[in-house]
Structure 1
Amino acid sequence: MDYSKYSVNELMDCLNNIDKDAHPENYKKLVLEVENRKPEIEVAQKQDQEEFTFSTENRVKLLSWLQIATCVGFTIAFADVLIGSMELLDLIVYGVIAVFNGVAGYKLLKRSRYGYELSYLNQILQILTINTGTLFFTYTGLGSFLVGIEGELFFRANILSTDFRFYTGENLGQLGFGVDLVAIFFLSVLHSCRELGLDAKANKQINQDK
C-alpha cells in the first residue's frame, strides 16, 4: 500500500480505522508515512481547528446580536403598551424580557461572566410552546420554527415577531405542544463553544483584568 499519495484527511481516516492486527505491514507503512508528514498534518489540523473556531464564534456573535435585537423588539412592545392600554402586568413582562435579552446578548458578545449561562436559559425557555387546556405558554425571540402536535402534526415558522404569552384558565383552545428547532440549534452552538473552551477563556480574561 502506497500512502504517500494520500491526503492528510485520508491518512488520518486510515489511521483511525485500520486493523493493525489484520494488516500489520500496511499499519507500519501508515505509521511511518504519518511520522514523515507530521509537520504537514499538524498544520492541517491547526487550520481545521481555527476554521471551526472562527465559524463557531461567528455563530455566537449572531446569537448575541439576535438577543440584542429581541431586546429592541420587546422594548417596542413595552412602548406600545405604555402608549396604549397601560396594562401593568404587560409592562412588567415586556420590560423584564427586554432587559434580560439585552443583558444576555451584551454579555455573550463580550464573552463576559454569565453571558453563556443567561443565553442558555434564554434559549431553553424558548424551546417549548405548550397548551394543556388550562395552561398556555409560548416565548419566542425574533424567529422560530416550531414542530409539534395540535390534533395533528404541524410546522410553524415566524420571523421578526417577538412573542410571550402565559395564560391559565379554562378551555384555552386546542391541546398540543411544539418544539422550537431554532432554539435547539442555538443551544447546540453554545454547547460547541463550551467544548472549545471559549467560555473558559472569557472567564480567565475577566479574572486577569481584576
Structure 2
Amino acid sequence: MSTVDYSKYSVEELLDVQSRISSDSPNYPALIAELDARKKEIDEFAVKNKQHEFSIMENRVKIIGYFQLAAAVAILIMFMLLVIDGSASILSSSIAIIAIALNAIAGYTAVKEMHDKYWISFLNQLLQVPSFAIGSVKAAYSGLGGIYLYADWTNEAQFGFSASFAPGFSFLKYTASSPTQYLGVDLIALFFLAALLTVSHAKGTANKLIHPTPNSGAAD
C-alpha cells in the first residue's frame, strides 16, 4: 500500500519520481494512477517544455544568422576595396557577389525564423567546412573566418589547429604543386551545422506535440 500522497506533487515532481522509482516499489501503482489521472496536465507540461527548448535553439540559429549578415558586410567591404584598387577580376567579382548574396539571404532567413529556408544557412555552412591545398589547387571559403582542425603533409604528416580571419572565397591554382599540402575542417561551421540540424529536429518534435495527428491519441 502506498504511503505517499502523489496528488500533492507538481507535474515536474511526478515526472522526477517516475524516472527514479522501481516498479517493485509499493508506491509505484499509486504513482501510475496519479500520472494517468493528470495525463492532460502532463501533456501540456511536455508541450511547454518542448516550446521552451525550441525557443532556446531558435535563438542559436538567430546568432548564426547575425554572423552570416556580418559576413555579408565584411565580404562586401573587402570586395569594394578590391574594386577601388583595381585588382578585382570578373571571376573574383562574380564569386564575391555570390558569397555576399548567399550570406545575406541565409542570415536574413535565419534571423526572421523562416524555418522552410533554413536549408540556405545549412548549405552556406556546409560549403565552409572544408579548406584544402591538394596538388596544385588551394581553396577555402568562410564567412568571417574559422577555427580549423587540419592535417598537413607538406614536409611530414602532422595534425593541428589554426584560426584565421579571411571572409569570402579564395581559390588558387599553381603551375606546380602548392607550397603547402593540407586538408582542414572548420569547427565553427560544424558547430553551426549541428545547431541548424538540432533546431530542425526540435521543430518537428514540437509540431507533433502541438499538432498531433488524428490517430495519435487513439488507444492501442
| TM-score in terms of structure 1 length | 0.77
Return the index of the structure with the highest Cα Rg. Answer: 2
Deviation at 1:13, TM superposition (A): 5.7
Q: 1:114 to 1:94 in 2, by over 3 A?
A: farther
Deviation at 1:12, TM superposition (A): 3.4
- Gaps of at least 5 residues in structure 2 are 208-220
Cross-structure match for 2:15: 12
Q: Which amino acid in structure 1 is aligned with residue 172 of structure 2?
A: Y
- Gaps of at least 5 residues in structure 1 are 202-210
Q: For 2:179, what is the secondary structure of its paired residue?
A: coil
Aligned ranges for residues 51-130 of structure 1 at < 5 Å?
51-84=52-85, 85-112=87-114, 115-130=117-132
Given that 1:129 and 1:177 are in contact with CA atoms closer than 8 Å, whether structure 2 keeps it comes out as: yes
Q: 1:28 to 1:114 in 2, by over 3 A?
A: closer
Counterpart CA distance in 2 for 1:62 and 1:18 is: 40
Instruction: Show CA shifts across 1:79-101 (max 9, x none).
Output: 01101113222222112211121
Q: Which amino acid in structure 2 is aligned with residue 167 of structure 1?
A: L
Instruction: Show CA shifts across 1:103-148 (max 9, x none).
Output: 2222333344862121111010011112212222211111322112
Deviation at 1:17, TM superposition (A): 7.3
Q: Which amino acid in structure 1 is aligned with residue 107 of structure 2?
A: G
Counterpart CA distance in 2 for 1:173 and 1:90 is: 22
Instruction: Show CA shifts across 1:13-64 (max 9, x none).
Output: 66467674xx275542331243355466445434422321211111111111
Counterpart CA distance in 1 for 2:68 and 2:104 is: 6
Given that 2:133 and 2:182 are in contact with CA atoms closer than 8 Å, whether structure 1 keeps it comes out as: yes
Aligned ranges for residues 1-210 of structure 1 at < 5 Å?
2=4, 4=6, 11-12=14-15, 15=18, 20=23, 23=24, 25=26, 27-35=28-36, 38=39, 41-42=42-43, 44-84=45-85, 85-112=87-114, 115-150=117-152, 151-158=157-164, 161-169=166-174, 170-197=176-203
